[in-house]
Structure 1
Amino acid sequence: MANLKVAIIGCGSIAQNRHLMEYEANDQVEIIAVCDIVEERAMVTAEAFGARSYTNYEDLLQKEDVDAVSVCLPNYLHAPVSIAALNAGAHVLCEKPMATSREEAEEMIAAAERNDKKLMIAHNQRFVASHEKARQLIESGEVGKVYSFRTTFGHGGPEGWSADGTDSWFFKKDQAFIGAMGDLGVHKADLLRYLLGEEFVNVAGFIENNAKEGISVDDNAVCILRTESGVIGTLTASWAYKPEEDNSTIIYGEKATLRLEDDAVHSLVAQYATGEIVKYELGQIQSNEEGGQTNTHVIDHFVDCVLNNKQPLIDGHEGKRSLEVILAALESGETRKISKLEK
């Protein structure tokens, strides 16, 4: 089978620690081009991976014959660059959140369908072993009726690992549009939709900037969510958790409570109403603290979908629904009213 020719647009931290390394580790992929507006960053990356370097993504798309593109850019560029790549005939793996509005997300989906190309959003939490196992336990009925949940994703903030440190685009509203909720909260919104197997209909959000000075986006957020069937719970996203990050989820059900990534050794602990406790050692979740050297399985899944014409687990429609939860939380935070999600 011919190798997949890939370009990475944006050579910052997520590209360096995830996309480039995981593409390189996949023997069905050839990285042929990289792009970054910082010329030196593009050139150094290109040299490291034996690729050609560009500072303008339009030049890259025009001059290179690429099969697939990873979009690893500030949030406000996700939609325009993804659409340009799709229109140029490339499959697209876009970082999260997929866009800055529902309209942008719809335009991305339309571009993928119009060009008959794959569009996948890089929500890596679905591929975590403990999360996959929890979904199976819920789906099989072993947990019984799910009543409630709490999920948290927090760390010290992007300045610790972003390519531009304290000057990172993550902190600038005109480039990021949203802070911790877009960086971390959207991952958990996607995970909960995946675990529970249903959509959220109501969101109440308290979205604050109370920890970091001089930034124009949120750094602490707590949301209350309600699903179609009445499952309720909380989602927390924070850039103010020190010294360690928290990436845990707890599902409270009729027959069992599932604790995911809440124990240092056991990535899933199932506590049954009968008193039985089952502890699973499934390998730890990827962490920014470890330098992010573990495989997220996102790239391998995307490559497999492109080469074998499969539907990505997180396609444009899935990415849009997870984005809409975050947009609803933002709206609630601004209006101080409960947001209703459209079907």
Structure 2
Amino acid sequence: MTNERSLRVAVAGCGTMGKLYASVLTRMVDIELAGFYARRSESAIDAAASFGTRLFMSYEELLAEADIDVVCITLPTYLHRQYAVQAAERGKHVICEKPMALTLEDTEAMMRASERYGTRLLVGHVLRFAPEYRNLRDHVLSGKIGKVGVGHARRASLHPPSGSWFKNEEMSGGVLFDLMIHDIDFMRWTLGEVRSVYASLTTASGIEYANATLRFASGAIVNLEAHWGYPGPFLAEVELAGQSGVMRCSNQNGQSLIVRQMESPGIAGEGVHIPSFLLKKDPYEAEIEHFIACIRTGAEPVVSAEDASRAVEIALAAGCSAQTGLPQKL
């Protein structure tokens, strides 16, 4: 637990997510952006200058700063274990971008280091902080559509640049870890534990597409799609169907959540629209503020390191199924 003095927070990584984190941190009260660590480049120098902060020449130099309390890790996924463990060893709390890591060995090493050195390990599964997804989950848990039997989620974006680390599966885990893991975590958070996964993966020039069927302990069956190379604006949508209705949300329409309920069993009813509120706070901002509050107070986070590790386990099972053509039990 950290007292109420200003927290000094550094960011390891100076790409898109590193800059996003920095922009959020600089707007927060009682937070000081202590600097970036990134390979020295014109982009990193410009970013540090634009945020009015320091660019550390090495990660060791950053960790040697005794008054840095928190390190946000926004580096390529394959580096998460190394940088998180090093930070914990130096007594720094860690906020790590999703996915937590690429192997269970790595996630377990990160959790062990956090426990051993008494630091917090917080992993950014941002859908848990997105109002439309939280709203959908709240209605499901309230029983609004009865017991969920089937579901579907789809997430699609442009293909990463050919020279990007995202394109290297050994660094990023590919589309399963970059895109699908969002919906894996959300569905597990909403529906409970996954018992088996069956998946396929298709790659072609400029395209990587994954499809996975998750069977839950509750009996629900959910289909997930993740697509790099989608010829259109970023797409994210989810639908859950229960015994007495259907709920769906999509970033492609202006309604944050649509509920269609049956008037009585077996009779289709009229659509009931749940009004959306204008987003007063970006989900990343809500997520980072929540994590900082957990570090200050010792409160349990909305998403635990164990939750993040379970998402990695399910993504790994999907990858194994895609390779073998066989369903994988969990």
TM superposition score normalised by structure 1: 0.89
Q: For 1:335 and 1:283, locate their aligned partners in 2 and report how far apart those are by CA, in whole Å.
A: 45
1:180 aligns to 2:175 (yes or no): yes
**How many Å separate the matches in 2 of 1:50 and 1:111?**
32
The reply to whether residue 140 of structure 1 matches residue 142 of structure 2 is: yes
Does the 8 Å contact 2:131/2:283 carry over to 1? no
Distance in structure 2 (CA, Å) of the matches to 1:34 and 1:340: 41
1:279 matched to 2:273? The reply is: yes
What is the letter of the counterpart of residue 206 of structure 1? S
The 3 A distance-change label for structure 1 pair 338 and 132 is: same
Q: Distance in 2 between the 1:142 and 1:262 partners? A: 22
Which of residues 70, 77, 80 is equivalent to 2:79? Answer: 77
**Paired residues for 1:222-241 under 5 Å:** 222-241=211-230
**Aligned counterpart for 1:298 among listed residues 280, 287, 295:** 287
Aligned residue in 2 for 1:32: 34
Shift of the 204–229 alpha-carbon distance from structure 1 to 2, 3 Å rule, reads same
The offset of 1:206, in angstroms, is 0.5
Alignment map for 1:87-102 (pairs within 5 Å): 87-102=89-104
Superposed, which structure 2 residues align to 1:2-41 within 5 Å? 2-16=5-19, 18-41=20-43
Structural mapping, 1:108-127, within 5 Å? 108-127=110-129
Work out the number of aligned pairs and report it: 321
Q: What is the CA–CA distance in structure 1 between the aligned matches of 2:28 and 2:104, rounded to whole Å?
A: 33
Larger fraction in strand: 2
Q: Which residue of 1 aligns with 2:329?
A: 340
Q: How does 1:193-272 map to 2 (within 5 A)?
A: 193-196=188-191, 198-212=192-206, 219-261=208-250, 264-272=253-261
Provide the identity percentage.
Answer: 30
Structure 1 residue 64, shift from structure 2 partner: 5.0
Q: In the aligned structure 2, how far is the partner of 1:110 from the partner of 1:180?
A: 28
CA gap 1:94/1:278 in 2 versus in 1, 3 angstroms: same
Read off the aligned partner of 2:38 and give its amino acid letter: D
**Cα gap change, 1:262 to 1:6, in 2 (>3 Å):** closer
Cα distance change, pair 70–134 in 1 and its aligned pair in 2 (3 A)? same
8 Å CA contact 2:130–2:283 kept in 1: the answer is: no
Distance, in Å, in 2 between the alignment partners of 1:97 and 1:38 is 25
**Cα-Cα RMSD:** 1.9
Determine which of 190, 200, 218 is the counterpart of 2:185.
190
Matched residue of 2:119: which SS? coil
Amino acid at match of 1:223: A
What amino acid maps onto 2:235 in structure 1?
Answer: D
Quote the Cα distance in structure 2 between the aligned partners of 1:262 and 1:52.
37
Q: Please identify runs of 4+ aligned residues in structure 1 that moved more than 4 A.
A: 283-286
Letter of the aligned partner of 1:181 in structure 2?
Answer: L
Whether contact under 8 Å (1:269, 1:279) holds in the other structure is yes
Deviation at 1:27, TM superposition (A): 1.2
